[in-house]
Structure 1
Amino acid sequence: MPTSNDMQKVLDIQDKNIIFKDNCVTYGVFKGRRCKFIECTLSYTPKECQNCQIPNQDYTIYKNGTQTSRITFPMSGIVPTFLRMKKQRFMCKACKETFTAQTPLVENNCFISTYIKAHILTKSADACSIKDISKETNVSEATVQRVITKEAKHYRPHNQSLPKHMSFDEFKYASGRMAFEYINAQTGDILDILPAKDSRFVKKHFTSNYSLRQRERVETVTVDMNASYVSFIPVLFPKAHIIIDRFHIVQLVNRSMNRTRVKVMNQFNTSNGEDLKKYRRLKHYWKKMLKKESELSYTTYKSYKLFGQRLESAIVSDMLAYDKELETTYRVYQSIIKAVEENDHKRLESIVTQSYSSDLSSYMKTSLKTLRKHLKMIKNTFEYPYNNGRIEGINNKIKVLNRVAYGYRNFLNYKNRIILHFNLNPTKTKVNQKKKVNTKTA
């Protein structure tokens, strides 16, 4: 038969005041489900009264019966598990008040063990829904959300200071609505998340939570080419340099190049056999048209569908010969990619500002016009090492949380889940940065 010490080890209970007797495990039914009940007793000699704090001397405090509580415990086996704990009650002669024995296993006036709450927080760091956590911990969905909300309060921003380098971005969360977030560009820590991204709302948030002196300390703000960000950043952060994320620069011209390819490709979708051959080639090898010219193979022959034994570079050259507009756009695209890769702002400026013939596609002309507007900020892109890589990675994980949960109707609950997810599940980069800081301090 198991002893009290054995049961404490099996259930991982550290409180020695909880006593288990033989044959303490029984089975029964609770809320229509078969459950396991474990009988135990909590008793000890209190040092003082919990109400008046008078020391327990000369039997000032005496035992006054017991109170049985049903405590939700982590599942032991395959059925829900509950502790039926008989808590000792005490009477104080001085204040004539009663109180109940307490244990770290469960909070006062609560019937959910701290082990369950710890398990909820552990699971909330993973990409799983509130409903799944509820089923696994044998508590209601409202309880799970309540535990998450309570813990998230410890990680909420206090709006006391701003880092020198920040990143701005937005993400979609419910019914097409967009939320705005800003993070520390150096550490990747989420500073805050706002339920709307319109400039008026963002301005009000920063001006009401941060003083002008705090906002003047910001040195750089990394954004994409969103026009609203570029308009209000100089107002909110007078001394900050705007950095355009280099990924969005490449993405802009990449999309223009691809749309040009699709336009030319569709012109060959005719009944003519030669035209159809060109159509299929442009459709099948679209990735090679977007690939960096320096990464194409110029020495190795391979067998390619629709081409036969050819060089990779020769395949691209043949497709460019199909149309003058496609070739001109490709040359501009490759020159911009190379300028960005080499951080050559002067070369990029000359490419963007020079006049082109009518052979250049309208898509690429529009992209060049956009780049001309942001040339000054793109120069900061080449001078500073910051980008939106961290915030884009955070957004990808946020979208996974939203997809797993099938959306959140309450933005505050969604925000608490996001904050808790990233604070309880830190990335390897953050851990390595903390180790470096500790090493320098030592």
Structure 2
Amino acid sequence: MLESQINKFLSLPELKFTKKRNLKNYVIEFECYKTNEFEVCPKCATKSYKVHDRVFVHIKDIPIRNKLIFLKIKKRRFKCPNCKSVFREPIPGIKKGFKTTQRFRSHIRWCASNFSDLKRVTKQLQCSSWLVYTAFYEQLKLENKKWQNEWSSTVGVDEHSFLRNSKSHSTEFTSIFVDYNNNRVREAILGRSMDDLENSRIMDIKGRENVKNVVMDMSGSYKKFVTKHFPNAIITCDKFHVVKLFNHALNRIRIEVMKHPYFLKSRNSPVRRLYLKNHERLSFSERHVVRHINSLFPELKEMYKFKERMLFIYNIKGFKRARKAMTKLTDEMAQSGRKIVQSLRKTVVKWRREILNYFRTRLTNGRTEGYNRKAKLIQRKAYGYRNFENYRLRLIYDCR
């Protein structure tokens, strides 16, 4: 009974347990052998029953209760009756030439995902850092193959910084595509230009006609790519990025008109915080301060009014009412003589359809921004990545 249980839980398929040996306090060795009567020649696929000789191999297996497990396998070498070649019998669960089992390499993936650093993994499993590094990304590649499904109906697109190029000293970006239906990162590619997107793995994923909604920021390359390769998709511009445009223009005017050193402080300026905050969330005293500053600077008052009107539009219910309010806002902005207001109006008019699509779909890019935050956390934990393929595997696995 004990032997059958050990064969079931410890041994690999087609292996039979024969002996247990305690080498040290934390090392256990199990002797076992394969029970098949014949093997098939890997060269000519002929059955071979003749045993040429026998050898012992030591294979490291998954630890049990912090004790290292080694399998001492008595392997046979067969001689093919057809081509006369000598070959060693294969064992399921151990790749040819490997000194570790597949479940041990899968255990490395689990440890590397849950421990704080790879040094702890090497100490826990008593193996080299090279084995941990190699087995970890090998297992990530196998795990990510399980999630290679078609495109879903809703997709989010965004980018985040990857590393700084040592030659051009420019920042390289990673574009991520988020599956909203399954709540995971579907794919990550290096670059954000049209050529980078068209020459990536994105083109190999099937079911692009299934995508009905795409949420993104105001990126011209993303818009061009989605329009060309996702024919049935409705593009929705994220409302956070639209409000951010108005806040950026408002802050530029504030810095321009307020020449007093008190107003030219950095991001900690209390005036800056008051102007970026929604007017409805200001206290009575804060509203009084904003009104007083606006009375002194008409340019700032005008841009502040446009920003608050944009926030009000996003609280409107109904596509038609929002469209009328958007038209009224852009008409009022057209009457302004300021260059920064005209530039902002031009951008809003260019993305008018995508901005108004929010009132049809009510989708935001918040989930994609959350995965961007997680991607940056992965980079910080690893102290940066040099190999993008390894970073891509880790990102898709942790955000599955």
TM range (shorter): 0.7 to 0.9
Q: 1:268 aligns with which of 245, 260, 267?
A: 260
Q: Return the offset for 1:378.
A: 1.0
CA-atom RMSD, angstroms? 4.2
Deviations 1:360-407 (A, max 9, x none): 6x5454333211211111111221132222222122211221222232
Partner of 2:167: none
| Match status 1:399 vs 2:376 | yes
Task: Give runs of aligned pairs for residues 7-406 of structure 1, distance below 5 A.
Answer: 13=10, 17-18=16-17, 21=20, 24-26=22-24, 36-43=26-33, 46-51=35-40, 67-69=56-58, 71=60, 74=63, 82-90=68-76, 109-126=97-114, 133-147=121-135, 148-156=137-145, 161-175=150-164, 176-205=171-200, 209=204, 214-265=207-258, 267-269=259-261, 276=262, 283-298=269-284, 311-343=285-317, 344-354=322-332, 355-358=334-337, 363-406=340-383
Q: Partners in 2 of 1:367 and 1:48 — Cα distance? A: 79
Aligned length: 376
Partner of 1:411: 388
Q: Partners in 1 of 2:106 and 2:351 — Cα distance? A: 49
Closer, same or farther: CA 137–346 of 1 in aligned 2, 3 Å: farther
- Is the 8 Å Cα contact of residues 203 and 236 (structure 1) preserved in structure 2? no
Deviations 1:192-229 (A, max 9, x none): 22222211232355896378xx5444333222101222
Q: Partners in 2 of 1:277 and 1:194 — Cα distance? A: 42
Q: Partners in 1 of 2:70 and 2:146 — Cα distance? A: 40
Q: Partners in 2 of 1:229 and 1:277 — Cα distance? A: 37
Matched residue SS, 2:28? strand
Closer, same or farther: CA 338–132 of 1 in aligned 2, 3 Å: farther
Closer, same or farther: CA 380–187 of 1 in aligned 2, 3 Å: same
Letter in 1 for 2:372: N
| Contiguous gaps of at least 5 residues in structure 2 | 165-170
Query: Which shifted more, 374-383 or 385-394?
Result: 385-394
Q: Return the offset for 1:72.
A: 6.1
Letter in 2 for 1:372: V
Matched residue SS, 1:88? strand
Q: Partners in 2 of 1:350 and 1:93 — Cα distance? A: 87
Partner of 2:168: none
Q: Return the offset for 1:288.
A: 2.6
TM-score (norm 1): 0.69
Closer, same or farther: CA 206–418 of 1 in aligned 2, 3 Å: closer
Closer, same or farther: CA 316–134 of 1 in aligned 2, 3 Å: farther
Deviations 1:324-377 (A, max 9, x none): 22222222211111112325232123112323445x6x5454333211211111
Letter in 1 for 2:315: E
Partner of 1:30: none
- Is the 8 Å Cα contact of residues 39 and 47 (structure 2) preserved in structure 1? no
Q: Return the offset for 1:126.
A: 4.9
- Is the 8 Å Cα contact of residues 42 and 88 (structure 1) preserved in structure 2? yes
TM-score (norm 2): 0.76
- Is the 8 Å Cα contact of residues 176 and 185 (structure 2) preserved in structure 1? yes
Q: Return the offset for 1:129.
A: 5.2
Query: Which shifted more, 159-168 or 12-21?
Result: 12-21
Matched residue SS, 1:376? helix
| Contiguous gaps of at least 5 residues in structure 1 | 28-35, 270-275, 299-310, 424-442
Letter in 1 for 2:156: S
Q: Partners in 1 of 2:145 and 2:80 — Cα distance? A: 43
Q: Partners in 2 of 1:111 and 1:191 — Cα distance? A: 34
Q: Return the offset for 1:170.
A: 1.9
Closer, same or farther: CA 172–207 of 1 in aligned 2, 3 Å: closer
Percent of pairs identical after alignment?
A: 21
Q: Partners in 1 of 2:380 and 2:371 — Cα distance? A: 14
Partner of 1:420: 397
Q: Partners in 1 of 2:264 and 2:75 — Cα distance? A: 88
Closer, same or farther: CA 239–21 of 1 in aligned 2, 3 Å: closer
- Is the 8 Å Cα contact of residues 243 and 378 (structure 1) preserved in structure 2? yes
Closer, same or farther: CA 357–198 of 1 in aligned 2, 3 Å: closer
Q: Partners in 1 of 2:147 and 2:11 — Cα distance? A: 36
Closer, same or farther: CA 128–172 of 1 in aligned 2, 3 Å: farther
Closer, same or farther: CA 127–199 of 1 in aligned 2, 3 Å: farther
Closer, same or farther: CA 162–39 of 1 in aligned 2, 3 Å: closer
Q: Partners in 2 of 1:313 and 1:143 — Cα distance? A: 62
Matched residue SS, 2:156? strand
